[in-house]
Amino acid sequence: MSPQTLAQPAASPAAAPTTSITGAVATLQALVAEGVDTIFGYPGGAIIPIYDALYDFKEQLNHVLVRHEQGGIHAAQGYARSSGRVGVALATSGPGATNLVTGLADALIDSTPLVCITGQVFAHLLGTDAFQETDIINITTPVTKWNYQVTRAEEIPEALAKAFYIARSGRPGPVLVDITKNAQMQTFDAPAYEPCTHIRSYRPAPVVRNEYIEQAAALINGAKRPFILWGQGVVLGQAEREFQAFVEKSGIPAAWTILGVGALATAHPLNVGMLGMHGNYGPNVLTNECDVLIAIGMRFDDRVTGRLDKYAKQAQVVHLDIDPTEIDKNVKTTVPVWGDCKETLPLLTALVERKEHAAWLARFNDHMAQEVDAVIREELFPTSEELTMGEVIQQLNEITGGEAVIVSDVGQHQMVACRYALQNQSRSHVTSGGLGTMGFALPAAIGAKFGAPHRPVVAVIGDGGVQMTIQELGTIMQTGVDVKIIILNNQFLGMVRQWQELFHQRRYSFVDIQSPDFVAVAAGYRIAGQRVDARDALRPALEKMLAHPGSFLLEVMVTKENNIFPMVPQGCSVAEIRLR
């Protein structure tokens, strides 16, 4: 070895080349490296350095300027739900950050992968009640899967790599990374970005245990009246094909939670409809008659189960879920199949016998026939003079053929949209399921369109909910994003009014809500619109809306005091579902 080589220490092979950049640039480089193309945000003092860096990232990152941070995070949720990718929202410290809280809670309960980045005051000011300082880490701890505060620029690449990994792996969920302003401004020698693939204390993908697969298959093969309930886990696991194969081979009737809708096409012969409080008649009644209940990627929410002590007590329960905390949480499981359903479903399909359960399936169809007579026919093809919410969805189905992405808000119109919208494919219905966030749909529809730019996106919103985030019409105006908006206006906060009618002696307490002239409001935002209050104008208006180049707001005046049926009244068992 020559003296020269001895004098120069050999470069460690592990040491990657570094470049000197600011924390703000490192933040945006991380987003680009994670494959992010669209971010939803709103600038402010504590996040100015990141916005300054964004000026040079316009080619790589499409930043959508929203009108309120809540709109930003709901848009990120809509993006994530329609695209299957991680949604990203940006907000400043203090009020900017606290405005994210509703969206975080919504995303956590609906398992939506999000990375939220908030600016924070300088690290040395933490705890001093500085201008726009709020303790967003502690505020968001109950509503995030994980959160982290960065106080030095060097922490940024690893914190964001972890954030993306945690958000999308296992049971997905929202994470928040809070970055102090000094960390955004500091320069540091940044190594090449490395995505995170492993955290030692975190087990996103449980090991599948074959004995449970075998026990589950044995139960299913011996069942006379098996029944499948599926939820969003099938969608989040990207296991739609594996799920369909399981359903078709086993021949078992399958019903969905509102977040699972579309994982199996609504028109599939084994899709027997929607579960829950306003779900279909058969799936609710027959839950208490099946002998084996197979729950896949669903969490037995109280709106699905009704009264738990009278829920499927006769059935043996097989529960497939990636999240071990869901097993036995609400319903006692006979066989737990803990794992990613993309992995467990094919194993189960291989062991189940090919069967048809014709007589059992016929019972679902009989119940559906009763429901059509009692509820559905009049809702979709009304003989009354006034328009119904259902006929709007029915007409929409006929025009779109079930190809549109529907984004619904919360309340009566949501139940109608979930019950009646045709869905040919997965990721076609974005709605706030667990949290029930009014005001979700308008911003979520904006995000859904960015996430699925080649599909028509139709937001279906009530007159109450739309007024909660109506400022996002400004986002639509400025970005030119093509979102069709249907307001089903019954001049009431309809779902609460329904409860007051049925359970509180028609004491209509503050549900009589007035609305502005929505078409005029849209016009103020230079969005085309129309108002319809007669049946013969509905179809042409829907056709005009869908054919319109760009956004369109269609306000449909519907009958004021319609109730959503069937209904499982609170405190009743699913078998006590009322048709009227």
Contacting residues toward another protein, per CB under 8 A: 122-127, 137-138, 141-142, 145-149, 151-152, 155, 166, 182, 199-202, 323-325, 328-329
| Omega cis (within 30) before 516 | no
Looking at the Cβ atoms of 108 and 261, the one nearer to another protein is 108
Q: Is 503 labeled as catalytic in the residue annotation?
A: no
Looking at the Cβ atoms of 130 and 351, the one nearer to another protein is 130
Q: Is 132 labeled as catalytic in the residue annotation?
A: yes
Rounded to the nearest whole angstrom, what is the least distance from the CB of residue 151 to another protein in the complex?
5
Rounded to the nearest whole angstrom, what is the least distance from the CB of residue 376 to another protein in the complex?
39
Q: Is 412 labeled as catalytic in the residue annotation?
A: no
Rounded to the nearest whole angstrom, what is the least distance from the CB of residue 320 to another protein in the complex?
17
Dist CA 43 CA 185 (whole Å): 16
What is the Cα Rg of the chain in Å? 25
Looking at the Cβ atoms of 199 and 579, the one nearer to another protein is 199
Selected catalytic residue, list 131, 332, 503, 560: 131
Looking at the Cβ atoms of 201 and 210, the one nearer to another protein is 201
Instruction: Give the HSE-up count for residue 480: Cα atoms under 13 Å, Cβ half-sphere.
Output: 1
Q: At what angle do helices 240-250 and 341-351 cross, to 10 degrees?
A: 20
Rounded to the nearest whole angstrom, what is the least distance from the CB of residue 137 to another protein in the complex?
6
Question: Which H/E stretch holds residue 362?
Answer: helix 358-371
Bridge partner residues of 407 (DSSP) = 430, 459
Q: Tell me which amino acid residue 539 is.
A: R
Residue pair 405/456 in contact by the 8 Å Cβ criterion: yes
Looking at the Cβ atoms of 100 and 137, the one nearer to another protein is 137
Residue pair 365/346 in contact by the 8 Å Cβ criterion: no
Residue carrying structure tokens 């016998």: 353
Chain centroid to CA 482: 20
Looking at the Cβ atoms of 52 and 323, the one nearer to another protein is 323
Selected catalytic residue, list 29, 34, 145, 181: 181
Closest listed residue to residue 323, CA positions, set 312, 343, 306, 337: 337
Closest listed residue to residue 344, CA positions, set 171, 250, 218, 205: 205
Q: Looking at 393-526, which runs of residues are DSSP E strands?
A: 405-408, 429-431, 457-462, 484-489
Q: How far is CA 168 from CA 143, 174, 206, 232, in A?
A: 16, 9, 15, 14
Looking at the Cβ atoms of 329 and 363, the one nearer to another protein is 329
Looking at the Cβ atoms of 108 and 496, the one nearer to another protein is 108
Closest listed residue to residue 356, CA positions, set 464, 248, 254, 438: 248
Q: Is 557 labeled as catalytic in the residue annotation?
A: no
Rounded to the nearest whole angstrom, what is the least distance from the CB of residue 142 to another protein in the complex?
5
Looking at the Cβ atoms of 328 and 512, the one nearer to another protein is 328
Selected catalytic residue, list 29, 40, 57, 69: 69
Q: Please list the alpha-helical segments (H only) found in 376-440.
A: 377-380, 389-400, 412-420
Rounded to the nearest whole angstrom, what is the least distance from the CB of residue 203 to another protein in the complex?
9
Rounded to the nearest whole angstrom, what is the least distance from the CB of residue 163 to another protein in the complex?
11
State both tokens at 478.
């400025």
Rounded to the nearest whole angstrom, what is the least distance from the CB of residue 111 to another protein in the complex?
13
Residue pair 61/35 in contact by the 8 Å Cβ criterion: no
Selected catalytic residue, list 277, 468, 495, 567: 495
Write out the DSSP string of 282-345: HHHHHHTT-SEEEEES----HHHHBSGGGSSTTSEEEEEES-GGGTTTSS--SEEEES-HHHHH
Bridge partner residues of 188 (DSSP) = 21
Rounded to the nearest whole angstrom, what is the least distance from the CB of residue 438 to another protein in the complex?
23
Q: Which residues are catalytic?
A: 69, 131-132, 181, 495
